Chains A and B, each alone.
Chain A
């Protein structure tokens, strides 16, 4: 059974970089049948997909247009995890951030991390 364990700071200052990590157990970040996603949830935006990374003979990324200029999702094969970096954050980036595995039979989610952007 796949399990995802998120880690990272819960408080980030405006204009700085939000960084979160999602550690994978029960699967490989290099799996040819899964994609590794970041989603956030806030009262104002609801559930918002941010982007994904996946491996199909080489690495690919897709990002939401709303954050495309500020986001990076990277796999780390040595640690079997993937990360989210969101640059130049503002209070509007305050949300619960989830990592999730997308496979053939559905999505499985990490526990979520509340990230507050505040000075």
Chain B
């Protein structure tokens, strides 16, 4: 199974500042035949299902604010929130969908400093 490891486990950032969350996979999730990384990022707020933010590692889902961006390839990925807003307080997860079993990171709890 591909193991997804996020860092840090928790993060406190001031409003308007940048937040960066990292995700590392135990093996590459890049598929060379279509040049895509099978990596997604989700935001989860209490009592809600995970909400898709980013797919193919860097494609922003429709309706997601452009302060959210994803980058990386192969085994190392980053979610960046360029200017933290109060509504961004949540837990963030990475997930690979390269092959089954699909696995998730342990989550990063983002708070306001």
- Known contacts A47-B93, A65-B101, A106-B40; decide if A98 and B106 are in contact (CB<8 Å): no
In the complex, which residue of chain A has the Cβ closest to the Cβ of B42?
Answer: A107
- Judged by DSSP, the binding face of A is strand
The A/B interface has a contact count, at CB < 8 Å, of: 46
**Chain A residues in 8 Å Cβ range of B55:** 105-106
Sort chain B's interface into a size bin: 20 to 34
**Chain B residues in 8 Å Cβ range of A108:** 52
Count contacts on A: residues with CB < 8 A to the other chain.
19
**Chain B residues in 8 Å Cβ range of A62:** 100-101
- Judged by DSSP, the binding face of B is loop
From B48, B52, B101, B103, contact of A106 by CB (8 A): B52
Q: Name A residues whose Cβ lies closer than 8 Å to a Cβ of B.
A: 37, 46-49, 52, 62, 64-65, 98, 102, 105-112
Q: Name B residues whose Cβ lies closer than 8 Å to a Cβ of A.
A: 40, 48-52, 55-56, 59, 61, 93, 95, 97, 100-104, 106-107
